[in-house]
A = this chain, B = another copy of it.
Amino acid sequence: MQGSRMSRDEPTVQGRAWRALLEGHRDLIRFLEEEFVRGAGVELQYYDVMFHVSEVVEGRRMTDLAEAVVLTKSGLTSLVDRMERDGLLERRPDPTDRRATRIVLTQAGKERFEAVSRHHRGVVRRIFTSRVTEEEARVIVDVMERLQSAVQERELGGA
């Protein structure tokens, strides 16, 4: 964990930042997941889907939603199956493209999302928001967005 020798040289600050990011994120997610299941009775993945669906009134297309929650299309198909079975979501034909399916929250889904959101914000505040200064937060936003676009360029630009 620490004092590890990834190379003979002393790790740079950036190198330590990389490991800190990985390990910190891992612990945060692990904690969040546990808190979530215990307190809200819903998996984090459910919340993630509901979050992205709730943003758009007319519903989200499967493909876009899959991208948003980082799943393959078939993976999302089965996830939506389960959530539909649980009465949280509804599939609706897309009026403009008959190939597409739009996912919308049911009334029960909306209520559930509201409740879970409140809980979610509480947990996030306790473990993250309240422990980070504005200054630090700005740096994080700055860095992460920069890295994101770098990755996206690389992915598009090919190897």
Contact = CB atoms under 8 A, between A and B. Distances in A.
Interface stretch (A82-90, A92-100, A101-109, A143-151): A143-151
Given A7-B121, A128-B147, A147-B128, A16 B141 contact: yes
13 contacts: A14-B128, A17-B128, A17-B136, A17-B140, A20-B145, A21-B144, A23-B144, A24-B147, A25-B25, A27-B151, A27-B152, A38-B159, A132-B147
Contact of A127 (B26, B38, B125, B150): B150
A134 B13 contact: yes
Contacts of A137: 12-14, 16-17
A117 interface: yes
**What does DSSP make chain A's interface, helix, strand, loop or mixed?**
helix
In this complex, the member of A5, A23, A24 whose beta carbon has the largest number of chain B beta carbons within 10 angstroms is: A24
A23 to B, nearest CB: 7
A-B CB proximity, top 3 nearest: A24-B144, A17-B137, A20-B144
Contacts of A136: 17, 139, 142-143
Contacts of A6: 51, 117, 121
Contact of A129 (B18, B23, B124): B18
A68 B1 CA distance: 8
Interface in A1-40: 1, 4-7, 12-18, 20-21, 23-28, 30-31, 38
A144 B18 CA distance: 10
